[in-house]
Structure 1
């Protein structure tokens, strides 16, 4: 073994540091957060901000992401569906897709009986629609940027969520708006009839149920509510006939499930 003079070894000089030298640390990047709008203990905030920071919009296909959310709904993964629809709304630049995403997010929360969250999502869809209308008016632009079908769906679903939350007067108001937006939306007529009947307005409710049936929304629920309205109007024979038809429809549905 021989002794080596350390001065004989040529060490790599490397690339050195920039001047002035900026050190590094392991702290996360700083985000600009308005504490008046964001709860600092909300763990989802960082995730959402990282999404926007690290994933460019053109790397996301909102249409495909919307389909993913719908598939989650089909397999009853409603929490994942709600998160997916929120991502769609964040990334899309298409007004129609954004409104559909908020509406579907509300439906996902409704399936979880998270009524406040559902109401919030439906209001996002409708507020977005109102903003689009205002923008078109200010720019004197014709043509719809949002899909009236989604607006009508958001209104009628919002009505149901409000009713579940005990706000029946607001529920009827939004049910009325739904049929104003889309008079051919059969489910909106059914909901309008239901809320009218709840307030004791059986004659108006019957008209709404008949409209729903004429538009093809004829099922046991509609007929059962119509029978209840007929009873309120004193038309007991017609009510009994409908009640028998409802029983038959439900028996057939049960048999089909068994088969």
Structure 2
């Protein structure tokens, strides 16, 4: 556990943290009757390991200068990050029912000006990694030992700005930059690999000078090992963890839907989804 995080966080298993994040995301989706719930369920394990194992942060002081920065490049994943921020105690859980409403601190697309713990406003895809490069350079100039984490989608691999940032990070030997790619192979128009295939992805990142790991993004022990390796690597190079995740993970009847990028959930199915999730509740 990073020294800046509260000790009480270690009392709950990472499996349970991920389950709690999924549940909170479903409850928020039920409030609006919609949301990018497939992504939230799929990336919950990555967020649990990020906030409750890897990140150095203080829940009561989200602006603490010594914190690791977690950038949500994919603004439409905001429902997932809000759930993680609530689970971490950065956002009060009582605000859950305000999700997406007027004057809420949790708009449907993430905005840094609204939400404690939201480091950047993610919108047009492909900008998060470039911002992360700037932050990593700035922190190094300050002599900070903080890390910058950038969570991005596989769809952003089709953006030229992503690869410009990747090249720049390697040029500057940014060993304090860790990119996390959520590879769920889904975009608005269909599978990512059919829209603009980025494979062989490991080899591409390596060619750009990055230390690469690829793991099952729904396997918590594998994620823990990958994050630990990324943090402790001695080589002076940026690090990327490619996480292969399953959309709607934890709710099988939603996992089986053909279209999961913006999965359609009928009004009566929210309660069903919560019931199904409850059946798999970990200790």
Q: Same fold (TM over 0.5)?
A: no
Q: Give the number of the structure with larger relative contact order, counting CA–CA contacts within 8 Å between residues 6 or more apart.
A: 2
Determine which structure has the larger strand proportion and give its number: 2
Q: Which has the larger radius of gyration?
A: 1
Task: Report the TM-score, using the length of structure 2 for normalisation.
Answer: 0.29
Determine which structure has the larger helix proportion and give its number: 1
